[in-house]
Amino acid sequence: MATLEIRDLHVSVGDGSDGSKEILRGVDLTVQAGETHAIMGPNGSGKSTLAYAVAGHPKYEVTSGTVTLDGEDVLAMSVDERARAGLFLAMQYPVEVPGVSVSNFLRSAVTAVRGEAPKLREFSKEMKQAMDDLSIDPAFAQRSLNEGFSGGEKKRHEILQLEMLKPKVAVLDETDSGLDVDALKVVSEGVNRFASGDTGVLLITHYTRILRYVKPDFVHVFAGGRVVAEGGPELADELEEEGYEKYLKAGASL
């Protein structure tokens, strides 16, 4: 049973000159296998910072608190060690890497995460099936990673990686943003396939739209760099009706 535990996490972003700015101000969150958590909040509330800090992006500095995965200290791990330990971050803006083909990249990643190179034939079959499930044109396998992909194509490729790498806990950073309804359905189906396993999902979103397709067990409202409200799926319905207004004030007063 995988458990991601975040305790009193404080994170700052250095601006390069006069000190740094604190973005996360004491986040507590536990994601267990089999659970889907939605983190919702207005722009600038620190949702993405949480995602990147957990993944280990060098721009974000953890000033205090702990993050553990099955009791292992995630913060002591390098970025690649975190991924090999079973964490996955689906990025909001996946970067383009010229000259690195999707298939080469996927094979390298799968090899790294599984600890051994998959047999070429089996890997090709697996990749083809996973691409098919997400309605990705097989020709994309030979294209440079994310290069010239539309926003929707990039997001589908993030979910493709999620399904192939099979992490213990996945953090999805605004995977729904910029998707049309058809793409949103395809992506949501992929997330649901993944979430049906013995895995944890932390779904970060600004909108409630994706929650019609991916049902969260828990909803956390983020404001001012911390969780200001928690509840079940009904909390998402309330946000749909009322928006973030009252939480914005709550965040500011903290």
Partner 1 sequence: MGLEQKPLSTLHDKASYEVADFDVPTGREEEWRFTPLRRLRGLHNGTAEEGGKVLVEAEAAPEVTVETVGRDDARLGKAYVPVDRVSAQAWNSFTEAVVVTVPKETVASAPTVLRLHGEDASAAAYRHTTVIVEPFAEATVVLAHRGVATYADNVEFVVGDGARLSVISLQDWADGSVHVSHQHARLGRDARFVSHNVSLGGDVVRISPSVSYDGPGGDAELYGVYFVDGGQHLEHRLLVDHAVPNCRSRVDYRGALQDQDAHAVWIGDVIIRAEAEGTDTYELNRNLVLTDGTRVDSVPNLEILTGEVAGAGHASASGRLDDEHLFYLQARGITFDDARRMVVRGFLGQLVERIEVPDVREKVREAIEAELDQGASR
Q: How many residues bind partner 1 (CB under 8 A)?
A: 28
C-alpha pair distances (Å), 67 with each of 71, 198, 218: 9, 20, 19
Stretch that binds partner 1, among 27-35, 66-74, 79-87, 225-233 (CB under 8 A): 79-87
Residue 124 Cβ vs partner 1, minimum distance, rounded to whole Å: 18
Residue with Cβ nearer partner 1 (34 or 177): 177
Q: Does 254 bind partner 1 (CB under 8 A)?
A: no
Q: Does 79 bind partner 1 (CB under 8 A)?
A: yes
> Taken in order 227, 230, 233, 234, is the CA torsion positive or negative?
negative
Interacting positions 50-69 with partner 1 (CB under 8 A)? 55-58
Q: Name the pairing type of β-strands 169-173 and 87-90.
A: parallel
Query: Which of 15, 71, 95, 148 is the binder for partner 1 (CB under 8 A)?
Result: 95
Q: Does 195 bind partner 1 (CB under 8 A)?
A: no
Site track for partner 1 across 147-186, x = CB under 8 A: --------------x---x---------------------
Residue with Cβ nearer partner 1 (88 or 247): 88
Residue with Cβ nearer partner 1 (113 or 214): 113
Q: Does 105 bind partner 1 (CB under 8 A)?
A: yes
The residue whose two tokens read 């000033």 is: 63
Q: Does 84 bind partner 1 (CB under 8 A)?
A: yes
Residue 166 Cβ vs partner 1, minimum distance, rounded to whole Å: 11
Residue with Cβ nearer partner 1 (95 or 252): 95
Residue ranges that bind partner 1, judged by CB under 8 A: 55-58, 78-80, 82-84, 88-89, 91, 94-95, 97-100, 104-105, 108-109, 112-113, 144, 161, 165
